[in-house]
Structure 1
Amino acid sequence: MHKNIELHKYLLKQAKKLTEDWYSAIDKSTAVGVYASTNEEEIKRLKAQNYSFHENLIQVFIEDEDEFFKTFEKWVNEIASDSGHQSTPTHIILQEFLNVQNQYLSIIESFERENEGIYEKDEIYSWNHIILKAFSKIMTRFVEVHDQLSLRRLRSQQELINELSAPVIKLHQDIGLLPIVGEIDTQRAKYLLENTLMECTKKAINHLYVDLSGVNVIDTMVAMQIFQLIDALKIVGVKTTLSGVRPEIAMTAISLGLNFKDIHITGNLAQALQMK
């Protein structure tokens, strides 16, 4: 990688101005995410992150390539995991990367003019090439880390939603209630099966009321998994009572040939609790 100490010094002197010019150029009327904040502390932190980017990037002109990208990894991980950048659409962040890239191409041009005749054209070309390559790698890596963290956060949120949407509530002694509300897809049905078995065992529940009054529609696969849940509970010694089964769900179950014969069923939860 081509090195130039003079260009490095020149860019370092311009770093603060680059940050201020970059932030001033953001259209606050259309800005979103981290760039739209009006909080002084958040703005200060955003500028500090941008300035840190410059401090790291200009090292590309004095460090070996491998060492440069290894050092930059720390900045990428820090910014990609930042809550403000996590709440900002990726394409918006990439646009700001490109805006800063244009700043560098412009400032290298200024350096060339101020040092006219000192550097060969191919040397100046190599500086632009270095900047474009650096930005390309940094942007690609940033998107990878940003998306990995976003996916991890979504999975964590989904797990929490699953836990909240499939609670096994201990009513008293060995009696529990599983109220199922909302849409059930295959993934949630699988979670219901695994979580319910675990919770019944952990809470020493011998009789579980499964209330479906909050479920409007289920597909054939989900209907089968609900019946598999009842069969699995029976194997571990838990008696089940179904309540709130809507006609649509009953028809789906019958069309699948699912057998209600050995299942305790009541019209609603109040009737089920009265029977105990």
Structure 2
Amino acid sequence: MHRNQELYHFLMENSQQMTEDWYSMVEDQDASSIYSTKDPKIINTLKEQNQDYYLHLHKLFIEEESQFFSEFEKWSKELASDQKHLNTPDHYVVREFMRTQDVYTNYINNFYKQNIEKVSVDQLFSWLDIIRKVFNLSIYIYIDEAHRNTMKQLEAQKQMINELSSPVIRLQNKTALLPLIGDIDTARAKLILENTLIQCAELKIEHLCIDLSGVAIIDTMVAHEIFNLIKTLKLLGVKSTLSGIRPEIAQTAIQLGLDFDEVRTTASLANALEQINT
């Protein structure tokens, strides 16, 4: 019921003007939005993307509905992965989808007015309804892709923070310091173990001071990971010294039955470094 060759040709003939009408509505002063650009090249790219969107949308009126939506969804996912749009706040992108829809429905209404004797009101409503579905799909696909992009960025940032939060600092005479700060969960503890072993091997460290004075709480799993680190370092020929152990952490270790007999401990980092250098 939605297919109509005359409407399709009407839209194709006016497609470029649709894009110009859309861009004339763009008013954006936020520097974080791609739509605020004054760069002619970027403006031209925006217009090309908008025109490409319209050209794909026009096919709705000459193709079977299932075929159209299948192909349109695939194409929309590719469009949604454009990094410049993903870097733009979501509400700006959604706003432009809505403006694009407004322009499109205006041209549908114009076609209806010009062909009122041949097009029924029911036909007009069916066109407007299916267009609404298409734009809802476009917005959903974009928001979903934007969410995926955000999660990837957060994961990358978390990875970077974790890596930077467990640096092995080389001192002198093949000694090094591992200052641990903040909350340590099981995932971070495992990452600390992996990074520390790699860095100690690369730096050819023979004595490592692990300072816990910046750690307030350690749970059962994390305590095990730290002692596993010490045992593994020993296998690599690296001696370990624990410094700055808080009373509550010491109690946790004792309750777990962890053996401190073979682990050198000091009350402070200063004491640990003094012992290492003597």
For Structure 1 versus Structure 2, the TM-score category normalised by the shorter chain is: 0.7 to 0.9
Distance 1:208 1:103, change over 3 A: same
Structure 2 partner of 1:264: 265
Distance 1:267 1:150, change over 3 A: closer
TM-score (norm 1): 0.81
Contact 1:230 1:240 in 2 (8 A): no
Distance 1:263 1:225, change over 3 A: farther
Contact 2:209 2:242 in 1 (8 A): yes
Distance 1:250 1:168, change over 3 A: same
Give the Cα separation in 2 of the matches to 1:68 and 1:173.
70
Matched ranges for 1:1-276 at <5 A: 2-29=2-29, 32-169=32-169, 175-180=175-180, 182-186=181-185, 187-200=187-200, 205-212=205-212, 215=214, 217-221=215-219, 225=222, 228-236=225-233, 237=235, 238-243=238-243, 245=244, 250-258=246-254, 262-265=263-266, 266-268=268-270, 270-271=273-274, 273-275=276-278
- Greater mean deviation of Cα atoms: 76-85 or 202-211: 202-211
Give the Cα separation in 2 of the matches to 1:173 and 1:81.
51
What code does the residue aligned with 2:182 have? Answer: E
Distance 1:272 1:151, change over 3 A: farther
Structure 1 residue runs of 5 or longer lacking an equivalent are none
SS state at 1:256 partner: helix
What code does the residue aligned with 2:230 have? Answer: L
Distance 1:171 1:32, change over 3 A: closer
- Greater mean deviation of Cα atoms: 100-109 or 185-194: 185-194
Q: Note the C-alpha offset of 1:106.
A: 1.8
Distance 1:254 1:138, change over 3 A: same
Give the Cα separation in 2 of the matches to 1:80 and 1:183.
38
Distance 1:172 1:79, change over 3 A: farther
Distance 1:253 1:58, change over 3 A: same
Percentage of matched positions with identical amino acids: 34
Give the Cα separation in 1 of the matches to 2:72 and 2:31.
26
Structure 2 residue runs of 5 or longer lacking an equivalent are none
Give the Cα separation in 1 of the matches to 2:224 and 2:93.
47
What code does the residue aligned with 2:269 have? Answer: G
Contact 1:209 1:272 in 2 (8 A): no
Distance 1:13 1:226, change over 3 A: farther
Distance 1:256 1:273, change over 3 A: same
Distance 1:252 1:11, change over 3 A: farther
Give the Cα separation in 2 of the matches to 1:212 and 1:72.
56
Query: May I ask how many residue pairs the two structures share in their alignment?
Result: 267
